[in-house]
Amino acid sequence: MPRKKQELKTPEILPSAPIQDQLITDTIEKNFMPYAMSVIVSRAIPDIDGFKPSHRKLLYTMYNMNLLKGERTKSANVVGATMKLNPHGDQAIYATLARLTRANESLLHPLIDSKGAFGKHYSADMDCAAPRYTECKLDKICEEIFGGIDRDAVDMVENYDGSMTEPTLLPTSFPNVLVNPNLGVAVGMASNICSFNLNEICDGTIKLLKNPKTDNERLMDIILAPDFPYGGEIVYERDKYAQIFETGRGSVRVRARYKYDKQQNCIDVFEIPYTTNIEAIIDRVVALTKEGKIKEITDIRDEIDLKGFKMTIDLRRGTDPDKLMLKLFRLTTLEDSFDCNFNILVDGTPRQMGIKDILLEWINFRRGCVKRDLTFQLGKKREKLNLLTGLGIILLDIDKAIKIIRETKLEKDVIPNLMAGFGLNKEQAEYVAEIKLRNINREYIINRIKELDALKNEIAELEKTIGSEVRLNNLITEQLTAVKKKYGKERRSMITDISEIEEYDEANDLPEDFNVRAVFTSEGYFKKITLQSYRGNDEQKLKENDYVVFNSELPNSTDLFFFTDKSQLYRAKIADFDPCKAASLGDYVPAKLKFDIEDEKVIGMYAGNPDGIKVCFFFENGKAVKLPMSLYETKSNRRKLTGVCSAASRPVGVAFESAKETPDVFVVSEKTAMLVSTEVVTEKATKSSQGATLISLKNGGSVLSVISDPDFFGINSKRYRKNKVPSSGITLDASDIAKLPQKSR
C-alpha cells in the first residue's frame, strides 16, 4: 500500500530570553577569567614538581600499569589507559608520551624507556611511528619520581568522572623542575624553563639545605649554566646569567659545535642549539646561498644515522672553515638564544622566580612530601606496635586465651571476651583471634615480640625526624646525594666565556683575492672569468646588438658601482658573482642584484676605489652634471642608494673622471651628435642638481645614448668634436647612423 503523505509541522518556536546589556568587564570576569585560569593552572604551566598535568597523568597511568618494573607494552595501551585521567584525543597524549621518551632526545634525563620510532626533537621531519608499532615503559629514574606516592606523600584527587583517583603532584626526590626543559603557553602567560645539569642542581640544593641564606653568587659557582639535552656551546655572560638567577627572565646564547674534516674539506656539525632543528638550518643556508650572501658552500646535507646527529657542509677550495662558521653563527640558527621565563605554579598560583627561589620552594615541597611519607610509616609502625603489644599480653597466659575462645558460644562474642579477659583493645583482640592454631605457641609469640624493642626505637627516630627540620633536611640531602651518584652525568653543553668568543665582523669578511677578467656589456650583463679560462678563449658570447663596454683584469675583491636609468645606485663586489666562461652570457645585473623597479636598466658601471672619482650624468633633456663619488659614501654597507642624481630628467648615460683622466664621450640625439670631454661638464656638490645644458635639442628632441668609445663602431668621431657648450651638435651622417648600436638610432 502506498504510504500516506505526512504533513510537515512547523516546529514551535520558544520565546528567547530577553537580551540584557552587560559591562565588558563583567563579561571578562565571568567568562574569560575562569577559562584563562583553567588553562594556566590545569594545562600549560608546570608545577613545582616539574610536570604539567598532561605529563603527570600519563606517567601515573604507566605507574599504575606496573610499567616501572614490568616489561614494555605497546604505546597504544598506554594512550588508551591515560584517557581515563586525561580526557583529550589520543594524538595529543601520544605526542606528550613521545617527548618524554629516550628515543626523542628532548630531555636530559628521559622518563620513558622506549622502543621504536618516536621522532627526534632536533628534526621537524622525523615523525613518530603509529602507537601500535612502538613500545614503552617507565625509565629507572622514575623510581625517584614516584617514591612515597603509595605512602600518602602527596594529595590524591578524583579524576574527571570520579571513577578513580590521581595525584595532584608527584613526590619527585630531586628538583626535576630544573633538570628537564619545559615549555608552556597559557592565556596571557607563558613558561619556558631550560634544563640544568643534575649533578649541579643536586649540589646547589644541598648547599641551600645546609644554608638557606647562600647568596646567588655562590650558587652560580655551583650551578654553572644551563645544560641542554644535545649539547652545544653556551656563550657565557655572567651578568646575564645573574639576571636569570635572580628574576627567572633572560636569554642564553647557544652555538653549534663542529669539527673540520681536512681530507674531505667539509665541516661536520655534531651539536646544535636546543631551540632549532636541522631542517631550519639547512633551509636558511640554502636561501643565503641563493641570495649570494654565502659563496663558500657547495653542499649541505643531513647525515643523521644510528650514531646520532650529524650535519655536513661541503666547502669550496681555500675556504677558512672557522671564518665561515662565524658567518653562519651570525646569519643562521647555528647560534640561537634560549629565552628563559621561569613561570611555575606554587600552591596553585603562578609565580615567576629565579633559580634560588625555585629551589627553596622545591625544598619546602619536598620537605612536606618526606614528612607525610614518614608520618604514614609512623602510623603503620604504631599499628604494628599496638598489635605486638597485645600479642605479648596473651603470652602471660596462652591457655587462658585458648580457653576463652573455646568456651565462647557465639562467634561475635570472641573479640569482646578476649578484650575483657586480657584488657586488650579491639585491634589487638582482632589480631590475636586471627592467629592460626598452629602459631599459638610460646616460640612463635616470643619470636614476634622480639621486634618490640627495635620497633619502639624506629618509632622514636621517626618522631624525632618528623619534628625536626634539621633531620628532614639531612634526609633530603642523603636522597639527593644518592640520586646524584646513581643518575648524574657529565655536562653536555660546553661553557665558553664571552671574552673568548670570536664574533663575525662583516667589515673584515673580505673575499678571497685573486685576479679575474671582469667584462660588462651595454645590455647589463656582467662576467667574471678566471684568468686560466680567459687565456683559453677570449671571444665573448653576447646577445644580439649587445657590445662590451668594460673589459679589464681586476682583483676579485674590487668594488662595483652600477648606476641605473631610475637614478639609483647598486653596489656589489666582483666576488659576489659566480665565475663563468667567455662563451656564456654571464649574469644579468638587474636580476642578480634584484632591481626593484620594473624595466630598470644599468646605464654605466664603475669598478675600483671611488676615492677622488667624479661621475658625469647625461640626461635625456640634453643636460649634464658632474658629481663627486664621495656623495655616495655610507656608514653601513648599503647595497642600494636612491636619488643619486636629479630626477628632473631620465639619465641615459654616465662617464667617470679622475684627476689623471678626463675621457671623451659621444653624445647622440635623434639627428645630431657631439664628442666632448668631461671637462666641459658642469660640476656640482649636491645630488639634486640638474647641471647645465650640454647639447641643445630642437622640437622636443632627446638624448638617446652616451657612447664612451665611438671609434669602436667605425665612426670618425673627430668631426663631431665640440670644445664649447652648450652646442646644438653636428648632424649625423647616414653612414654613421647605420654604424651606431641599435638603441642609439
Q: How many CB atoms lie within 10 A of CB 383?
A: 12
Among 640, 664, 678, CA closest to 712: 664
What SS3 class is residue 291? Answer: coil
Answer for the pair 219, 356: CB distance below 8 angstroms, yes or no. yes
Any idea what the Cα angle at residue 131 is, between residues 130 and 132, rounded to 5°?
90
Among 359, 338, 345, CA closest to 44: 345
**What is the rounded (10 degree) CA torsion for 246, 195, 274, 491?**
110
**CA 691 – CA 682 distance, rounded (Å):** 6
End-to-end CA distance of the chain: 95
Q: Is 547 an active-site residue?
A: no
Q: How many CB atoms lie within 10 A of CB 212?
A: 12
Strand partners, 123: 120
**CA 364 – CA 578 distance, rounded (Å):** 65
726: cis peptide before it, omega within 30°? yes
Q: Alpha helix (H) ranges present in 147-259?
A: 176-179, 198-210, 216-220, 238-247
Answer for the pair 386, 425: CB distance below 8 angstroms, yes or no. yes
Task: Report CA torsion sign: 62, 65, 67, 69.
Answer: positive
Look up residue 156 and give its three cell numbers. 590524591
Residue with cell 665640440: 722
| Helix 355-394 × helix 398-407 angle, to 10° | 80
Residue with cell 659545535: 257
Among 236, 272, 279, CA closest to 257: 272
What single string gives the DSSP state of each residue in 173-199? Answer: SS-HHHHS-EEEE-SS-EEEE--B-HH
For 60, counting Cβ atoms within 10 Å of its Cβ (0-12 exposed, 13-18 middle, 19+ buried), the class is: buried
Answer for the pair 520, 526: CB distance below 8 angstroms, yes or no. yes
Residue with cell 516546529: 11
List CB contacts of 380: < 8 A, sequence separation 6 or more: none
Look up residue 360 and give its three cell numbers. 627553596
| Helix 426-433 × helix 414-422 angle, to 10° | 110
Catalytic residue from among 35, 63, 122, 133: 133
Any idea what the Cα angle at residue 313 is, between residues 309 and 319, rounded to 5°?
145
Look up residue 537 and give its three cell numbers. 678563449
Answer for the pair 188, 343: CB distance below 8 angstroms, yes or no. no
DSSP 695: B
**CA 313 – CA 302 distance, rounded (Å):** 9
What SS3 class is residue 501? Answer: coil
Identity at 192, one-letter amino acid code: N
**CA 704 – CA 701 distance, rounded (Å):** 9
| Helix 442-449 × helix 355-394 angle, to 10° | 150
Answer for the pair 665, 652: CB distance below 8 angstroms, yes or no. no
Q: How many CB atoms lie within 10 A of CB 599?
A: 8
**CA 690 – CA 647 distance, rounded (Å):** 8
Among 686, 680, 674, 675, CA closest to 657: 680
Residues assigned a catalytic role: 133
